[in-house]
């Protein structure tokens, strides 16, 4: 999907979940879509502060957390800090995959196999209700 379509999808998801449209929310989503990697809230706050002086870090962080709760964003913890990115499969049904995440720049690469298939075989009779699998390292540019 093109960036504008991704942004429109996110804004529709916000509305469907009871959030009002604001230019600030759209600016946060737009920044995340265009950057297309995991970003710390601090970086997003610095960007937003240029456009909207006086905007608090707490407001940014609360919105990022809310966006994550409704599936617009993915979040992960890297080096003791929460980082967020646009959910690369928020607009796709049944598109299950995992990521390699660069610990330096936050860039991601999709992994199209799921190790949970192996674990399910090892846990007969058990119901796995969720999982998270990420590989952390340095991308080609950050080595």
Buried b (16+ CB within 10 A) or exposed e, 28-51: bbbbbbebebbbbbeebbebbeee
> Is 114 within any annotated ligand binding site?
no
Give the Cα separation of 95 and 15 in Å (integer).
Answer: 23
> Is 102 within any annotated ligand binding site?
yes
Spatial contact of 10 and 90, defined as CB atoms under 8 Å apart: yes
pTM over 0.85: no
Per-residue pLDDT of the chain (143 residues; tens, 9 = 90+): 588 888 999 999 999 999 999 999 999 999 999 998 899 999 999 999 999 999 999 999 999 999 999 989 988 888 788 999 998 664 444 556 777 888 888 888 888 777 777 787 888 888 887 777 788 899 999 99
> Is 131 within any annotated ligand binding site?
yes
> Is 105 within any annotated ligand binding site?
yes
| CATH 1.10.10.10 is held by the domain 3-86 | yes
The residue extents of the domains of the chain are 3-86, 98-137
């Amino acid at each position: 999907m093109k960036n504008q379509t991704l942004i429109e999808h996110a804004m529709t998801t916000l509305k469907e979940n009871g959030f009002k449209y604001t230019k600030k929310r759209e600016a946060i989503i737009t920044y995340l879509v265009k950057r297309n990697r995991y970003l710390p809230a601090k970086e997003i706050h610095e960007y937003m502060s240029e456009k909207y002086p006086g905007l608090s870090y707490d407001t940014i962080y609360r919105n990022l957390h809310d966006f994550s709760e409704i599936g617009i964003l993915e979040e992960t913890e890297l080096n003791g800090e929460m980082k967020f990115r646009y959910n690369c499969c928020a607009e796709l049904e049944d598109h299950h995959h995992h990521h390699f995440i660069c610990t330096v720049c936050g860039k991601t690469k999709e992994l199209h196999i799921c190790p949970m298939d192996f674990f399910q075989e090892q846990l007969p009779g058990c119901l796995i209700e969720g999982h998270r699998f990420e590989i952390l390292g340095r991308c080609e540019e950050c080595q």
